[in-house]
Amino acid sequence: MATVLPDALPAVLEVAPDALLDTVRHLKATAAFDLLLDVTAVDWPERLPRFDVVYHFYSTSHFGRMRLKTRVGVDDPTVASLTPLYGTAAFHERECHDMYGIVFRGNADLRPILLYEGFEGHPLRKDYPIGREQPLVPLRKR
């Protein structure tokens, strides 16, 4: 099930998490959205499901943009990885995992990309404590 949000520029398509991979595969094959620009999330703590996972696509053939959203809950913030369709998704998904804790099923490398190993929590979640102190890690010797 997909919903097109009216009056949005670029076009915004909202899909169920279980339809994400098939929808993106269709957009890439039939609408020529050949470039994945970004993957991010938006935290809506007062809403259920809490997170929007947001994808931005670009077509290099017709110069169009598309924004795609899917919603996931805090108890199971999991969506399919787009790495089978776009190699660059690996890095975008790692960043989104770092910052929001979204799990991308099928991405074999969700190790931290911006945060250090041992960082606790996800700093772009709205419930992340601003004054939180992180555990210290020893400096690596060169």
Residue 59 in contact with residue 37, Cβ under 8 Å? Answer: no
**Residue 102 maps to a domain:** no
Range of the domain at 10: 2-76
Domain presence at residue 141: no
Length of the chain: 142
| Assigned domain for 71 exists | yes
Q: Which residue spans within the chain are E strands per DSSP?
A: 2-5, 11-15, 35-43, 51-58, 65-72, 78-80, 103-105
Q: What average pLDDT does this structure show over 37-59?
A: 97
pLDDT class of 5 with cuts at 50, 70, 90: low
Confidence class for position 116, pLDDT limits 50, 70, 90: confident
In a domain, 97, yes or no: no
Residue 60, domain CATH: 3.30.460.80
Decide if 112 is inside a domain: no
26 in any annotated domain: yes
Output the pLDDT for position 141.
76
Give the count of domains, the chain.
1
Q: Is the pLDDT of residue 92 over 90?
A: yes
